[in-house]
Each structure stands twice: as C-alpha cells, then as structure tokens.
C-alpha cells in the first residue's frame, strides 16, 4: 500500500525507500550471521566433545520411581555443568 507522505515518517515506521536502500546491508548482515553460526558450530564440534561415560546415571535402576529418576538426572546435569565450566 503506497503511503502519501513516505518522506516524513517518524517513530518506528520505515519508508519503502529506506527498505530498498538497506536491502544490501540486510543481506550482508544475514550472510555474516550465518557464517558466524557455521564457524561457531565447527568450533563447538571440534573442541567441545562430551565423554559418553560422564552421562551415565548411577541412580537409575529398575526399582526406582519417576521422582528418583528425575532427581538423578538433575543431579547428574548439575555435576556435568559444574565439571564442564571448571577451568582447572
């Protein structure tokens, strides 16, 4: 819908002329974000590998109920995150 006074927009509205001029910047920003995401995914998969033996939950057995299972999973998640963020 064309606007009658696109050059005098104020506030949060964007004129159609501004959108056309900013399309190249938008595309460059999108490419930059996607490239950064790919580099971040590569870095994470290369340097942050998880040892599957650390994910074993000793509190789970066939005799426990769902409360025991939830508490065991929560405790292991806390221990995993504490060990993962430890820089020593």
What predicted TM-score, i.e. pTM, was given to this entire model? 0.39
Burial of 9 (0-12, 13-18, 19+ CB in 10 A): middle
Provide the pLDDT for residue 20.
Answer: 56
Kindly indicate the confidence band of residue 85, based on its pLDDT and cuts at 50, 70 and 90: confident
* Structural domain boundaries in the chain: 14-49, 51-88
Structure tokens at 40: 């971040």
DSSP assignment of 12-73: T---HHHHHHHHHHHHHHHHHHHHHHHHHHHHHHHH-PPPGGGG--TT--TT--HHHHHHHH
Q: Quick: pLDDT tens for 17-48.
A: 555 567 888 899 999 999 999 999 999 888 88
Residue 8 scores a pLDDT above 70? no
Q: Is the pLDDT of residue 66 over 70?
A: yes
């Amino acid at each position: 819908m064309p606007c009658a006074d696109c050059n005098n927009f104020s506030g949060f509205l964007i004129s159609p002329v501004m959108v056309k001029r900013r399309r190249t910047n938008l595309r460059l920003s999108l490419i930059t974000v996607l490239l950064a995401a790919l580099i971040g995914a590569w870095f994470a998969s290369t340097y942050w590998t998880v040892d599957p033996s650390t994910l074993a939950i000793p509190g789970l057995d066939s005799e426990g109920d769902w409360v025991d299972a939830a508490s065991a999973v929560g405790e292991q998640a806390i221990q995993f995150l504490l060990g993962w963020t430890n820089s020593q």
